[in-house]
Structure 1
Amino acid sequence: MAASKTPPWRLVVVRSHNPHLVSPRSSVHAYYADHFVLPLPSGHRFPMAKYARLRERLAVELPQVQMHEAMPASDGELALAHTPDYIAAVTAGTLSPAALREIGFPWSPAMAERARRSVGATLQACRTAMSGAGVSANLAGGTHHAYADKGGGFCVFNDAAVAARLMQAEHARVARSSGPLLVAIIDLDVHQGNGTARIFERDASVFTLSMHGAKNFPFRKESSDLDIDLPDGCGDAAYLEALEHALDELDRRFIPGLVIYLAGADPHEGDRLGRLKLSFDGLEARDRRVMDWAWQRRVPLAFAMAGGYGADMETTLQVQMHTYRTALEYDQRWQALVPCSSMAAAATGMGAPRWQNAAA
């Protein structure tokens, strides 16, 4: 993509490193399942420890983030995006050796339970955002390489796909007259969301946007509604310009009532698997732009952390901490828009706000 002489964005980062600078009324609800730890062999490249470590840092540095244990997704919920045979095989531990190699994890009861709860965390985050909170989170998730009938790339079940379908079903039960809930999945993990793209390839009610490394995993890409292929070594300026064009295109083609955002840390320059060169400031500007896009349209947003494989785990965690700081700032805007009493009523199903196509 050619560089614009007058790019429509400016790299302006305002951090609230001191949690007391964020309004005490501000709170982002986040859901976790890090207590289900996979027994991985020594030297395995999946950073299992980062999830508990992220929760520890949030508790100390950003106590406004309210953390809740994720509930497991049921068979029926998983079946909204996955085949019954695949769900049964994950549950019973009867996946073939080839299927497990593609996922990248050995089977264990903890693996199956963690996969269910990772989906459950995104389900709960979406419900919370839709109830009036506006912004909410999964401390893990972003398992976008999982297809309907198989997993891949450290992804067992596809949390965003299940959540999109379930939110549509729940919306249809309570807001039939407003039409179907349209969901935009904005996937900014450095790897293409191939499983998500395939699941929704014939579904006009879900828009899949993926910005990813052109030469990175998966090497056989699927077709999202909008794919932005980035060259190795892509830095802040080119990335943010590409993101602006992508959001403009999304705006022209789709009007979502919910955004599910995969806020991958792996585009960072210190990531072992990323191959891009974004700085901390660039990634924070990315998060701010996506959340601002949703806020300007009054569209609730649930985000998942997705990938992050920093040579130094604390580097990955720092990217994710910036994402939560940014989310807290946008949560303040939502809380000013929706009085606490209205949010409580929405959470109980009474007087739930109609976010779909809400006026800016």
Structure 2
Amino acid sequence: MPEGHRFPMEKYAAFRRQAQQRLFSLPGVGFHPSPLSTVRDLESTHDRSYIQRYLVGNVTAQEKRESGFDWNEQHVNRTLSSVGGTVAATHAVLQSDSSVGAHLAGGTHHAFQARMEGFCIFSDIAVAANVALRDYPDKVRKILIVDLDTHQGNGNAVLFQDDSRVFTFSMHCDANYFSKKQASDLDVEVKAGTGDAGYLSLLERYLPLVFEAQAPDLVFFQAGVDVHASDRLGKLALTRAGLQRRNLRLFQFVEAYGSKLVVTAGGGYPSDSDPSSGPYADIINAHADVYVGAAEFFGGGSKMVPLLR
């Protein structure tokens, strides 16, 4: 990434290291490098010509502006591993007795079938969901996407708008739309400035309804931490403890319904990249907490599939 770019790419290495340190002694937790997504898997979700244009660098200036990224071969590999890791985590959990598989990247919920937007080229969750439906028809009939990023999961909303097998639930800040608002199966808007109590109250109102109505076989958790008060883009005011309670509540519902869970990262934009600063540490801690919390809650049997950098 160019120096000074507003996307905090360095955070992935930082919170991956923290997650590894905190989970090193927990039995059953393994870290593996993300594989690159196959074109066949990408085509389960995205337009073939769009995929090929991106892979060879035929990207327009407007697309670069909308995605927030320039094009280079390293970023192609990063994009493919961002999808491939979520697909690998999905295979890992569906082929084992584990309750949770996780990817320390992904969460690219602004990508559309043939359009990039908001740091998202392809939708890793959508691709992984379609791969699960394709490859595990006896195990996966109903999928729930729980998107708790501060931004709406607009790309996934559109990608699954005509597929009753996948239910999209997005709970996001009402002041954080940067493009046209889309219609998820359930959208819950959170007022800017909301803290732990108000946020968790809303989650407690809607999460039980969604699980009861869907009884999902597989849940994807877009675990954006840009709802944290230290996030420079989030416009919400959750604390680290509030985020931990958010994560725990989802884990409890997954366990109660006997669902399989795939965790991905999401937004998290510290106000600076100084590792010694409080806001930077807040975002790194919040990201790592998601994975540590999942592994500890589900008994250490999860397969952690990170993006290694």
Once the two structures are TM-superposed, the CA of residue 333 in structure 1 deviates from its matched residue by 7.8
Once the two structures are TM-superposed, the CA of residue 133 in structure 1 deviates from its matched residue by 1.1
- Given the alignment of the two structures, is residue 49 of structure 1 paired with residue 10 of structure 2, yes or no? yes
Preserved CA contact (<8 Å) 1:144 1:158: yes
Once the two structures are TM-superposed, the CA of residue 58 in structure 1 deviates from its matched residue by 2.1
| Partner-residue secondary structure (3-state), 2:37 | coil
The structure showing larger relative contact order (alpha-carbon pairs under 8 Å, at least 6 residues apart) is 2
Preserved CA contact (<8 Å) 1:214 1:230: yes
Alignment deviations for residues 109-168 of structure 1 (CA, whole Å, 9 cap, x no partner): 111111111111001111122222111211111000000101110011100000000001
Which residue, out of 289, 292, 299, partners 1:322? Answer: 289
Residue equivalent to 2:68: 104
Counterpart AA for 1:247: L
Residue equivalent to 2:307: none
Preserved CA contact (<8 Å) 2:15 2:285: no
| Partner-residue secondary structure (3-state), 1:133 | coil
- Given the alignment of the two structures, is residue 157 of structure 1 paired with residue 122 of structure 2, yes or no? yes
Residue equivalent to 2:52: 88
Once the two structures are TM-superposed, the CA of residue 44 in structure 1 deviates from its matched residue by 1.1
Once the two structures are TM-superposed, the CA of residue 279 in structure 1 deviates from its matched residue by 0.6
Which residue, out of 110, 130, 133, partners 2:94? Answer: 130
Looking at structure 2, the residues matched to 168 and 183 of structure 1 have their Cα atoms a distance apart, in angstroms, of 9
Residue equivalent to 2:105: 140
Counterpart AA for 1:156: I
Looking at structure 2, the residues matched to 216 and 243 of structure 1 have their Cα atoms a distance apart, in angstroms, of 18
- Given the alignment of the two structures, is residue 166 of structure 1 paired with residue 127 of structure 2, yes or no? no
Preserved CA contact (<8 Å) 1:295 1:330: no
Looking at structure 2, the residues matched to 215 and 159 of structure 1 have their Cα atoms a distance apart, in angstroms, of 25
Counterpart AA for 2:105: A
**Length, aligned pairs only:** 292
Which has more radius of gyration?
1
Alignment deviations for residues 258-290 of structure 1 (CA, whole Å, 9 cap, x no partner): 000011110000000000000111000000000
Which residue, out of 292, 296, 315, partners 2:256? Answer: 296
Preserved CA contact (<8 Å) 2:142 2:166: yes
Preserved CA contact (<8 Å) 1:135 1:330: no
Counterparts in 2 of 1:202-241, with a 5 A limit? 202-241=162-201
Alignment deviations for residues 21-57 of structure 1 (CA, whole Å, 9 cap, x no partner): xxxxxxxxxxxxxxxxxxx222211001011112222
Counterpart AA for 2:48: P
| Partner-residue secondary structure (3-state), 1:69 | coil
- Given the alignment of the two structures, is residue 77 of structure 1 paired with residue 77 of structure 2, yes or no? no
Which residue, out of 79, 82, 92, partners 1:118? Answer: 82
Alignment deviations for residues 42-89 of structure 1 (CA, whole Å, 9 cap, x no partner): 221100101111222222232134210111111110011100011001
Gaps of 5+ in 1: 1-39, 336-342, 344-360
| Partner-residue secondary structure (3-state), 2:298 | helix
Preserved CA contact (<8 Å) 2:216 2:257: no
Looking at structure 2, the residues matched to 209 and 324 of structure 1 have their Cα atoms a distance apart, in angstroms, of 21
Looking at structure 1, the residues matched to 217 and 182 of structure 2 have their Cα atoms a distance apart, in angstroms, of 25
Which residue, out of 255, 274, 280, partners 1:313? Answer: 280
| Partner-residue secondary structure (3-state), 1:332 | coil
Residue equivalent to 1:30: none
Looking at structure 2, the residues matched to 146 and 220 of structure 1 have their Cα atoms a distance apart, in angstroms, of 13
Counterpart AA for 1:209: F
Looking at structure 1, the residues matched to 48 and 300 of structure 2 have their Cα atoms a distance apart, in angstroms, of 41
Q: Which runs of 4 or more aligned residues in structure 1 lie more than 3 Å from their structure 2 counterparts after TM superposition?
A: none
| Two-structure CA RMSD over aligned residues (Å) | 1.6
Once the two structures are TM-superposed, the CA of residue 206 in structure 1 deviates from its matched residue by 0.1
Looking at structure 2, the residues matched to 248 and 241 of structure 1 have their Cα atoms a distance apart, in angstroms, of 12
Looking at structure 2, the residues matched to 48 and 138 of structure 1 have their Cα atoms a distance apart, in angstroms, of 15
